[in-house]
Amino acid sequence: MSEEQVRAHHDMPRDRTSVASTSVSEQRQEYEQMLTSFPVPADVNIVDGELGGVAVVEIDIRTSAGDERSSDVLLFLHGGGYVLGSGRAYARFAAEVARVSDTRVISVDYRRAPEDPHPAALEDALAVYQALLESGLAPKRIAVVGDSAGGGLALATLIAAKRHGLPMPASAAVFSPWTDLALSGESLRTKADVDLTFGDSVDTLLANLARAYTSTQDATDPLISPVYADLSGLPPLLIQVGSHEVLLDDATRLASRAAAADVPVTLDVTAKAGHIFQLSPCLRETREALTRTGHFLRRQFGG
């Protein structure tokens, strides 16, 4: 990744807003504007719906008349620190993952903090997963995908599903997952100078977001911070992360614990890339990373 590309990627504000600095509604509006600054391709179909009593956004790529619709589904959980973001705002990115994996997407509009702290988001994600299974969709036709906080939520959903005795999906792919809301990763300090995504007050920002989601609960609860969980029995995992991000250790420690639990895991680190660099469609690294994501997902689906 060139220096110019690094600067262009970091110019995207993403999660820089402090929960304490402006109203939550203003933060959400700014974040939505950032996410929708790139147009959704004309062949992407977006429909608001409900599944398992939870609001969802169904996203798929329009096909030619007579072409069969994909039977494989991505259960997509958006990022935004559990406070920002929405299923519709993430439609372009979710559609790109659907395109490379030849799937359709169910993007969950889970309840957000601080109005609804943990376990609200997890309950919503699990309810949608259960509803997909109850609809007759085979678990091996489902993959769970998420970025940042959505990546942590994707893993928590798998852990909760295992506890409830539900069958595992085919796989999970997470981008820059936030897996430790106790903020104990060493990269929070060692990468602070090179990861500009969160601004200069990364410790304060992440602490505010973590506090909003956890409320009075223990941040090391495995359903809040999956890096502390027993990961045995989880499906194959793809973990993508940039080497220039403060959450690098959240990804590498997750991969190490998954491997120790005999979970098939692929850790995919892109040099000099920042937090959720895949959101920047102009980067060569984004295209390459999403291509690898597509290969992984299709391989786990058996295609």
Q: Cα(232)–Cα(162) distance, rounded to whole angstroms? A: 9
Q: Indicate the burial class of 165 (C-beta count within 10 angstroms; 0-12, 13-18, 19 or more).
A: exposed
Q: Which two tokens stand for residue 138?
A: 């085979």
Q: Indicate the burial class of 11 (C-beta count within 10 angstroms; 0-12, 13-18, 19 or more).
A: exposed
Q: Which residues sit opposite 75 in a β-bridge?
A: 106, 144
Residue 101 is among the residues annotated as catalytic for this protein = no
Q: List the catalytic residue out of 96, 123, 245, 285.
A: 245
Establish how many alpha carbons lie within 13 A of residue 245's alpha carbon, considering only the half-sphere containing its beta carbon: 28
Q: List the catalytic residue out of 148, 176, 187, 225.
A: 148
Q: Cα(183)–Cα(56) distance, rounded to whole angstroms? A: 30
Residue 4 is among the residues annotated as catalytic for this protein = no
Q: Cα(275)–Cα(15) distance, rounded to whole angstroms? A: 9
Q: Cα(12)–Cα(181) distance, rounded to whole angstroms? A: 23
Residue 148 is among the residues annotated as catalytic for this protein = yes
Cα separations in angstroms, 128 against 37, 53, 75, 76: 28, 8, 8, 10
Amino acid at 240: Q
Q: Cα(147)–Cα(159) distance, rounded to whole angstroms? A: 17
Q: Which two tokens stand for residue 79?
A: 């990022």
Residues tagged active-site? 148, 245, 275
